[in-house]
Structure 1
Amino acid sequence: MPTAWNESRASEIIRRHEGREGPLLPILHDVQAEFGCIPAPAIPQIATALNLTRAEVHGVVSFYHDFREAPAGRHVLKLCRAEACQSMQGEALADQVLRHFGVAWGGTTPDGHLTVEATYCLGLCACAPSALLDGEPRGRLTTASIAALAEEIGR
């Protein structure tokens, strides 16, 4: 369960990585694990600690799809958007999911129940189209399995 933003807690996370080569990504991962996202006040704090610009830190956060600037929903559904999944009707299934939950890519339902994210290759090409629901792989998705998945998470 993510905790509320706490500058001293963020300082502790940064300190844990002192002296480490290439500490930015591990710090960002730990900050997100603690707070559920990379809160805006963390960016200048990390930049100062690592002698980087805020733009450099923000650039890394915005480049990597796994970093969030706002907390995710209670459930996270990552739909594969790579070629193998697209060739197996993944695009139509993705459209179905987005319509069903009423969100756009990267969006969270208004009640905070579900975040739907795009990901590019889960390594489940033989089971295309595929997804991860809360880190659990789901393969050979169909219209029926999407409906079952929605029911499973209570939507």
Structure 2
Amino acid sequence: MDDSLAIASDQLVQRHARPGMSLLAVLHAIQDELGYVPSGAITPLARAMNLSRAEVHGVITYYHHFRTEPAAPVTVQLCRAEACRSMGTEALAQHIEAHTGCRFDAGHQAGAAVELESAYCLGQCALSPALMLNGTLHAKVTPQKFDALLAAARKCVEVPA
């Protein structure tokens, strides 16, 4: 690892790792700051938390929420839990895939403008189907509503359609 990257990773961990904090809390703080947990942070984080690199890596890869690479400019998390499924989320998922040219849970493809992720309960069961678009929750989403939301999100981050 480049010395400047190692120093940056050490500083990142020092900003977030505090005595008594759990590994999950520190990982969330790092991801909140950067949008992902860089692989270069694993060694200094393991050292700061008195864990092995394998333990830190295991937690990062076990929890679906954590990313090890930056997200696409537009990220869609569609609820695929039972309540949303009963209200048409699978048909909406097919529309979203067709409209974006992306597949759910395929990960971030380098250069892709949109990333699609499945979520399992966004807490909007009475207002399903629900999704999060770049961290903002939307309920009662129809294909037409999704198209409008996606167009607005692309415009905000200047991503071509």
Query: Following the alignment from structure 1 to structure 2, what is the Cα–Cα distance between the partners of residues 53 and 123?
Result: 35
State the match for 1:69 in structure 2: 68
What stretches of structure 1 of length at least 5 have no aligned partner?
Answer: none
Per-residue CA deviation, residues 49-93 of structure 1 (Å, 9 max, x unaligned), is 222122211111112222101110122211111110011110121
Query: Following the alignment from structure 2 to structure 1, what is the Cα–Cα distance between the partners of residues 112 and 29?
Result: 22
Once the two structures are TM-superposed, the CA of residue 112 in structure 1 deviates from its matched residue by 4.1
The answer to which structure has the higher helix fraction is: 2
Amino acid at match of 2:7: S
Amino acid at match of 1:120: Y
State the match for 2:8 in structure 1: 9
SS of the residue corresponding to residue 41 of structure 1 reads helix
Paired residues for 1:7-86 under 5 Å: 7-16=6-15, 17-22=17-22, 24-86=23-85
Once the two structures are TM-superposed, the CA of residue 44 in structure 1 deviates from its matched residue by 2.3
State the match for 1:150 in structure 2: 150
SS of the residue corresponding to residue 39 of structure 2 reads coil
Greater mean deviation of Cα atoms: 24-33 or 11-20: 11-20
Amino acid at match of 2:148: A
Per-residue CA deviation, residues 86-130 of structure 1 (Å, 9 max, x unaligned), is 111101211221232122224336534222221111111111000
State the match for 2:137 in structure 1: 137
* Equivalent pair of 1:13/1:27 in contact (CA under 8 Å): no
1:113 aligned onto 2:117: no
Greater mean deviation of Cα atoms: 80-89 or 134-143: 134-143
1:125 aligned onto 2:121: no
Query: Following the alignment from structure 1 to structure 2, what is the Cα–Cα distance between the partners of residues 70 and 64?
Result: 14
Greater mean deviation of Cα atoms: 31-40 or 136-145: 31-40
Query: Following the alignment from structure 1 to structure 2, what is the Cα–Cα distance between the partners of residues 152 and 9?
Result: 34
Identity fraction in percent: 38
RMSD of aligned Cα (Å): 2.1
Greater mean deviation of Cα atoms: 5-14 or 69-78: 5-14
What stretches of structure 2 of length at least 5 have no aligned partner?
Answer: 155-160
